[in-house]
Amino acid sequence: MVAPASRMASEVAQRVLALARSLYRESPPEIVFHPQCFASYGHFAGDDDRRAQALLEVANDESYDAVWFARGGYGSCRIAEVVMRGLLEPSRQKTYLGYSDAGVLLAALYGAGFATIAHGPVAQDILREGGDAAVGRALAWLVDRSLAALEPMAGSGRRTAAFNMTVLSQLLGTSLQPDLDGHVLMLEEVGEAMYRIDRLLFHITSNSGIRRVSGIMLGRCSAITPNEPDFGMNEEEIARFWCRRSGIPWLGRADIGHDSANKIVPFGSIPPPPPTASS
């Protein structure tokens, strides 16, 4: 576990370890929280160098099977370039899991051809209402590649990708923008006003690369802040509008969001089981 953006709450480690023990009594997965998860530097879990080095240390170490992002928040974009330059061969064999701000790193890793990347719960989700289910789902994916953890469309065998709208928007037109040709693109949002969701979907659907996706699905948009005056459309009407405008197929709702029900969405096709599955 590393925290490429904001600091993880201190109680998360114990709760995640306790949950793992209760779920995998016979052989609990070994979960190592890098001390950097608890570091603090202004907005971040340590300064840029510390966060980048912690991620590289774990990713480049053959003894770990996965890099699980402790939480989102903000800060991954500040370290993505250094991280991508420092990744060595062992990092390519690992599973990566996170969402929200960590989407910056998922995009960069996917763009670099890493095969086993997924959008899904972070450790800090254990603090949510019903958070044990989210973290249990993350473990089911990391440890056993449980197909039950997958978002239904992702489980159907189509190539997929998932992002927070703002995070994807802030990658468009940069070298970190992922090639999503032919992918089903799932988008979720949290804490934005409806006019901003409209503007984000204008931005995303106006990008020529994004227009080559096979379709867009809308995850949950939660904690929407007040729009003054009322925007006159809800998030689904907005998503349908921009799909129609841009010619991108609208494929309905996706079972992802900033909540405990957030399902796993692998980037690309479903990867094979990990070497340690059911161990």
d(CA 84, CA 95): 16
DSSP 111-165: HTT-S-EEE---GGGGGSTTHHHHHHHHHHHHHH--GGGB-HHHHTT--EEEEEH
The binder of a copy of itself chosen from 142, 200, 216, 270 (CB under 8 A): 200
Does 230 interact with a copy of itself (rule: CB under 8 A)?
A: yes
| C-alpha span between 73 and 4 (Å, rounded) | 9
- Smallest gap from Cβ 263 to a copy of itself, in A, equals 26
Contact status: 233 vs a copy of itself (CB under 8 A): yes
**Contact between 43 and a copy of itself (CB under 8 A)?**
yes
Among 39, 41, 132, 268, binds a copy of itself (CB under 8 A): 41
Query: Is the omega angle on the peptide bond into residue 121 within 30 degrees of 0, that is, cis?
Result: no
199 binds a copy of itself (CB under 8 A): yes
Taking CB under 8 A as the rule, does residue 198 contact a copy of itself?
yes
Token pair for residue 129?
A: 């209402």
Smallest gap, in angstroms, from Cβ of residue 103 to a copy of itself?
Answer: 12
Which stretch of DSSP H or E encloses residue 179? Answer: none
Q: Which is nearer to a copy of itself, 47 or 61 (CB)?
A: 47
Nearer to a copy of itself, 14 or 40 (CB): 40
Segment contacting a copy of itself (CB under 8 A): 27-35, 51-59, 113-121, 192-200? 192-200
Nearest to a copy of itself of 209, 252 (CB atom): 209
For position 240 contacting a copy of itself by CB under 8 A, the verdict is no
**Contact in structure between 38 and 8 (CB atoms under 8 Å):** yes
In the window 151-190, what residues touch a copy of itself (CB under 8 A)?
Answer: 169-177
Of positions 100, 207, 260, 262, contacts a copy of itself by CB under 8 A:
207
3-state secondary structure 11-80: HHHHHHHHHHHHHCCCCCCCCCCCHHHHCCECCECCCHHHHHHHHHHHHCCCCCCEEEECCCCCCHHHHH
54 contacts 36 by C-beta, under 8 angstroms = yes
> What is the Cα–Cα distance from 191 to 90, expressed in whole angstroms?
37
Q: Is 234 in the site for a copy of itself (CB under 8 A)?
A: no
Candidate residues 10, 63, 208, 278; the one interacting with a copy of itself per rule CB under 8 A: 208
16, 23 Cβ separation under 8 angstroms: no
C-beta of 18: minimal distance to a copy of itself in Å? 27
Q: How many residues bind a copy of itself (CB under 8 A)?
A: 33
235 beta partners: none
Q: Which stretch binds a copy of itself (CB under 8 A): 26-34, 73-81, 89-97, 141-149?
A: 73-81
- What residues make contact with a copy of itself under the rule CB under 8 A? 40-43, 74, 77-78, 169-177, 194-195, 198-200, 202-203, 206-209, 227, 229-233
